[in-house]
Structure 1
Amino acid sequence: MSFVMRTARADDLQTLYELAKQTGGGFTNLPADRKALEEKLVRTELALAREGGEVEDELILMVLENCTTGQVRGTCQIFSKVGQSWPFYSYRLGVLTQHSRELSRTFRAEMLSLVTDLEGSTEVGGLFLHPRERAEGLGLLLARSRYLYIRNHRERFGERVIAELRGVIDEAGGSPFWDGLAGRFFGMTFQEADEFNAIHGNQFIADLMPKTPIYIAMLNEGARAVIGLPHPNGRAAMRMLETEGFTNPGYVDIFDGGPTMVGQINSLQTIAHAQDVTLGSIHDDGGEKHLIACGQRAEFRCTYGLVKRASNEGVSLDRESAERLAIEPGQSFTMVPRA
């Protein structure tokens, strides 16, 4: 496998744009808009250039590169602290219980409340892998490389991390959730709202959305049926998040109703089980498959490698992965088992 994760550069704009056009819509963090993508690359460059250790509102855009061809075949993003430039809105699922003594009946009404509970969290998102590369664990490499980046720059992130999963989108590119709820207040289609949010932010939600809780029973059947469900293509991603240590506490996206997963950074499996080691030697065959990473900020790289436990002088790494990370014996790197 000749793939490596690295931080994005300005010259990745065209390939990111080509990837964005293949998402099928609903990927707010990866819009098919050159200007919006260029702004993300500028934000990434500024974040990678900053040397301080404080938590700030920053974006790290990463790409998956085929080292043989030089092609970018996937991407993902880390937002260090959401809700700083504009409010970070979610719907929270809740239940209101009421009892009628005269009827001798108890009513439990499910409700959606507009909240900003998740402000200040780190967010991982924008993960997209080219359809022709969805094999050999590359999706796992995309996802877990973000956690290794966070671990190796721990002082620049908080305690909580979230991941918004795309909700159900119909064949026409519309959202049953949007059509049944928010679309009634905004006079625009889901695609229009999604594109506007990707470029301008979601302050228009605060300006126009009613602040009172929404009774789910009052929504149409199509909207009710998809609340909290991921897009069919996102079910595997949801399972990966659950394996990593994320939970689903009942927050849903205000646009498409997809679930927002929540985790504690230090408890994520990748971060909790990763360790820093010294490269003692390089071998040409065998070994146990690990995710391996090295480098700070713009020099960060992550790939799969075959590791052998060696003597007290360090571990042994296969030659190809050592070359992909550009490390030599005596240098240190981070590793965590693939499984």
Structure 2
Amino acid sequence: MNWRVRAAGLADLDALFGFATMTGGGFTNLPPDRDTLAAKLERSEAAFARPESPPEDELYLLALEEVATGEVVGTAQIFSRVGVRWPFYSYRLATLTQTSQQLRRTFRAEMLNLVTDFEGATEVGGLFLHPEKRRDGVGRLLARSRYLFIAMHRRRFGEEVMAELRGRLDEKGSSPFWEGLGEKFFGMSFQEADSFNALHGNQFIADLMPKHPIYTALLSDDARAAIGQVHDSGKPALAMLEEEGFRYDGYIDIFDGGPAVSIRTEQLRTVREARKATLGGVMPPGSGVPAIVASGRGNMFNATFADIDAQGDSVLIDAAGRSALSLDAGEEVTYALR
């Protein structure tokens, strides 16, 4: 099969709603609410259509489709700049070391500090691939297309890119971390808090969450064990983020304790390796090297996997890749090797 990533639009609402019903909870960026998803798609269409300018508070929503049928099988999102409409909260793990000369003992206490350190960063998230299509590296195409889009529209994004991963949930779909901490201050279940955040934002965190450090020793064993742990379904996504160079530096999600990873934008592997070239023609079958190739700007953006043969400022592309991107000779493409 041949796959293509493109800008999403309102016509993709049914597909996105279907994905939202499959996530199993804790997937804030893809809530199972048609009105909210429609608003996100409208916001995304406006973002793709805007002129090139510094980031404000845009959302870019991508769709992955099978080229021959047009069936949408996955989606991913880019938030140009977080912390604009309301603070972007995280917990940061820190250690306080204290020594008693009388007792001749040293104590190291681990604490959670509520911070807004990612304010102004670009966030990548909302990546979901239909369970039946999780093969042949299709998820990697969906993930890396975001970084090619950033490389091709660099002015629209921040100097840092971050991602939050869904944290550990129990067999009932509840979060041990939330039950051990957040529930004590908000009086609502994880599902209720997660749903409210997805629909209305997390300003209620600023209203009710204590601002002083939380000593992790006061949390339950289950809550402590969940800190910085990724949900089983998110492990492939974490592996792809690490391949791009993302690092975990002790930041965790305020709801489920999942890890937040980050990297300087210019250090992203795909951004560093992205090259522009002019399409020279179709490459003979069986030659070239595998790459991810993109063309078009704004809402005309498309990306696909293809075999290429780069020759200076010109590049040859295989027939399937050229067809997926609807390219003509002489058009500009941006590519990075797989």
TM-score range with shorter-chain normalisation?
over 0.9
Match of 2:135, SS state, is coil
Task: Tell me what 2:290 maps to.
Answer: 289
Q: Which runs of 5+ in 1 are unaligned?
A: none
Match of 2:199, SS state, is helix
Task: Tell me what 1:66 maps to.
Answer: 66
Deviations 1:132-169 (A, max 9, x none): 01001111111100000001000111100000010001
Give the aligned residue type for 1:297: G
The answer to whether residue 63 in structure 2 is matched with residue 45 in structure 1 is no
* In structure 2, distance between residues paired with 1:170 and 1:34: 27
- How far residue 52 of structure 1 moved from its aligned partner, in angstroms, is 3.8
Fraction of identical pairs, as percent: 55
* In structure 1, distance between residues paired with 2:55 and 2:130: 32
Trace 1:1-339 onto structure 2 (pairs within 5 A).
Answer: 1-286=1-286, 287-310=288-311, 314-338=314-338
* In structure 1, distance between residues paired with 2:324 and 2:180: 49
Deviations 1:36-79 (A, max 9, x none): 11111111011112114222110000010111221110000000
The change in CA–CA distance for 1:106 and 1:313 in structure 2 (over 3 A counts) is closer
- How far residue 25 of structure 1 moved from its aligned partner, in angstroms, is 0.8
Contact 2:277 2:313 in 1 (8 A): no
- How far residue 284 of structure 1 moved from its aligned partner, in angstroms, is 4.7
Give the aligned residue type for 1:102: Q
* In structure 1, distance between residues paired with 2:176 and 2:162: 24
* In structure 2, distance between residues paired with 1:213 and 1:332: 52
Give the aligned residue type for 1:75: T
* In structure 2, distance between residues paired with 1:329 and 1:50: 27
* In structure 1, distance between residues paired with 2:271 and 2:49: 24
Contact 1:81 1:121 in 2 (8 A): yes
Give the aligned residue type for 1:298: N
Contact 2:52 2:153 in 1 (8 A): no
* In structure 1, distance between residues paired with 2:19 and 2:238: 21
Give the aligned residue type for 1:263: I
Q: Which runs of 5+ in 2 are unaligned?
A: none
Contact 2:276 2:313 in 1 (8 A): no
Contact 1:55 1:156 in 2 (8 A): yes
* In structure 2, distance between residues paired with 1:298 and 1:189: 39
- How far residue 185 of structure 1 moved from its aligned partner, in angstroms, is 1.1
Match of 2:266, SS state, is helix
* In structure 2, distance between residues paired with 1:295 and 1:41: 19
Task: Give the 4+ runs in structure 1 shifted more than 4 A.
Answer: none
Give the aligned residue type for 1:72: V
Match of 1:206, SS state, is helix
Contact 1:280 1:313 in 2 (8 A): no
- How far residue 313 of structure 1 moved from its aligned partner, in angstroms, is 7.2
* In structure 2, distance between residues paired with 1:265 and 1:210: 32
- How far residue 13 of structure 1 moved from its aligned partner, in angstroms, is 0.5
Cα RMSD, aligned residues only: 1.1
Count of residues in Structure 1 that have an aligned counterpart in Structure 2:
337
- How far residue 308 of structure 1 moved from its aligned partner, in angstroms, is 2.1
The change in CA–CA distance for 1:313 and 1:237 in structure 2 (over 3 A counts) is closer
Contact 2:76 2:125 in 1 (8 A): yes
Contact 2:31 2:198 in 1 (8 A): yes
Match of 1:76, SS state, is strand
- How far residue 94 of structure 1 moved from its aligned partner, in angstroms, is 0.3
TM-score (norm 1): 0.97
Contact 2:275 2:334 in 1 (8 A): yes
* In structure 2, distance between residues paired with 1:71 and 1:96: 53
Give the aligned residue type for 2:194: D
Give the aligned residue type for 1:296: R
